[in-house]
């Protein structure tokens, strides 16, 4: 089973406003709501690829209930834990005329250490050997920076493969727990190293350094340029197909979803990488936060190139 964890989920409200103007009354011409938060996005993409996952999430109030209902309607199994307040709503104002995208994000409710510990223990108790746990996204207020490190240790001890997609201190501390896979983008890897990385060779060297520190597999995504993938035996350079870009929001989540889906099916590193790049590219072709159809992903598979380094 694949479990995704979302500690700070959101209802993403995308509002179309033509000629969005500050200091004026703006009228919404179209609005859509989608369940969001990085772990939840990963679950949505896994579902489109034809897989199953359980979305473990801290959800609160009527917005929390709405998110759970929407996910269940999409066939995604939800394991909800009661948040201490109403789940946040994130407003995305899209202006097609001026071609602007403005995000107005709420902070979300505070989480207590006791609540996070209880959630972590409940999950670890359910895990069996070979399960996959995806830890991704920002931490809620009140969560210690070592939250993902603690979760990674508990889940690994229970036999699960931990996939970590985080930034800043949450990533730095999470690495100490030797996750099975990490997926920084190039900017996150630079921040982790404390210096600007100069080109592909530098990225590969730093990814190798993480593997020698105990991370099983390092996937460094590089936007339209593709990714570098390193494990104990291989280093690959993958190039994504050139596509028409709708929105790059959630591209990384799509890659993580495909990697988890591929791992569960026992795919080789090369096949998993190819699927991840096709899934990433298919998802950037979408205009909003909706996940791409599997047929589109399949049509891009042959256009991914992979070279051994």
Residue 105 to residue 102: CA distance in whole angstroms: 10
Residue 249 to residue 298: CA distance in whole angstroms: 21
Q: In the sheet that 132-136 helps form, which strands lie side by side, from edge to edge?
A: 77-82, 53-59, 2-6, 132-136, 161-165, 181-182, 217-221, 227-231, 235-239, 305-308
DSSP 98: T
| 9 vs 250, beta carbon nearer ligand ATP | 250
Determine, following the binding rule CB under 6 A, whether residue 248 of this chain makes contact with ligand ATP: yes
Query: Which of the residues 46 through 75 are near ligand ATP (CB under 6 A)?
Result: none
Query: Which of the residues 216 through 275 are near Mg ion (CB under 5 A)?
Result: 252
Query: Which of the residues 189 through 218 are near ligand ATP (CB under 6 A)?
Result: none
Q: Does the annotation count 253 as an active-site position?
A: yes
- 241-253 exposure pattern, b = at least 16 Cβ within 10 A, e = fewer: bebeeebebbbbb
Q: Which of 53, 240, 273, 286 binds ligand ATP (CB under 6 A)?
A: 240
Determine, following the binding rule CB under 6 A, whether residue 255 of this chain makes contact with ligand ATP: yes
- CA 222 vs. chain centroid, Å, equals 15
Q: Which of 116, 134, 189, 251 binds ligand ATP (CB under 6 A)?
A: 251
Residue from 231, 253, 298, 302 carrying the catalytic annotation:
253
- Binding piece for ligand ATP, criterion CB under 6 A, among 7-15, 72-80, 249-257, 286-294: 249-257
Residue 241 to residue 284: CA distance in whole angstroms: 11
Determine, following the binding rule CB under 6 A, whether residue 280 of this chain makes contact with ligand ATP: yes
> φ and ψ at 99, to 5 degrees?
55, 50
Residue 303 to residue 309: CA distance in whole angstroms: 19
Question: Min. distance of Cβ 283 from Mg ion in angstroms?
Answer: 12
Longest dimension (CA), the chain: 58
Q: Which of 15, 40, 146, 277 binds ligand ATP (CB under 6 A)?
A: 277
- CA 128 vs. chain centroid, Å, equals 22
Q: Hey, which residues does 219 pair with through a beta bridge?
A: 229
- Binding piece for ligand ATP, criterion CB under 6 A, among 56-64, 90-98, 174-182, 244-252: 244-252
| 127 vs 257, beta carbon nearer ligand ATP | 257
Q: Return residues touching ligand ATP (CB under 6 A).
A: 185, 221-224, 226-227, 240, 243, 245, 248-253, 255, 277, 280-281, 284
Question: Which amino acids are annotated catalytic?
Answer: 253
Q: Which residues bind Mg ion (CB under 5 A)?
A: 252
């Amino acid at each position: 089973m694949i479990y995704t964890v979302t500690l700070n989920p959101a209802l993403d409200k995308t509002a179309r406003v033509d000629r969005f103007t500050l200091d004026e009354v703006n009228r919404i011409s179209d609005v859509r709501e989608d369940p969001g938060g990085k772990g939840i996005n990963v679950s949505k993409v896994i579902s489109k690829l034809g897989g199953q996952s359980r979305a473990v999430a801290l959800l609160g109030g009527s917005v929390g209930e709405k998110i759970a209902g929407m996910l269940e309607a999409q066939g995604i199994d939800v394991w909800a834990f009661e948040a201490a307040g109403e789940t946040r709503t994130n407003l995305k104002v899209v202006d097609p005329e001026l071609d602007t995208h403005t995000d107005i994000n709420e902070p979300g409710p505070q989480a207590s250490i006791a609540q996070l510990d209880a959630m972590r223990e409940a999950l670890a108790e359910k895990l069996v050997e070979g399960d996959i746990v995806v830890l991704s996204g920002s931490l809620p207020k009140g969560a210690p920076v070592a939250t993902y490190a603690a979760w990674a240790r508990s889940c690994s001890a229970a036999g699960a493969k931990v996939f970590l997609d985080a930034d800043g201190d949450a990533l730095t501390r999470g690495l100490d727990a030797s996750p099975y896979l990490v997926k920084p983008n190039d900017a996150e890897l630079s921040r982790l190293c404390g210096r600007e990385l100069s080109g592909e060779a530098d990225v590969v060297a730093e990814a190798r350094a993480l593997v020698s520190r105990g991370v099983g597999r390092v996937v460094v995504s590089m936007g339209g340029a593709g990714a570098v993938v390193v494990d104990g035996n291989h280093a690959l350079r993958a190039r994504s197909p050139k596509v028409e870009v709708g929105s790059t929001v959630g591209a990384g989540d799509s890659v993580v979803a495909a990697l988890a889906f591929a791992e569960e099916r026992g795919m080789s590193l090369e096949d998993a990488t190819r699927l991840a790049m096709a899934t990433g590219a298919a998802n950037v072709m979408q205009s909003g936060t909706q996940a791409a159809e599997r047929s589109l992903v399949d049509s891009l598979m042959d256009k991914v190139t992979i070279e051994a380094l």
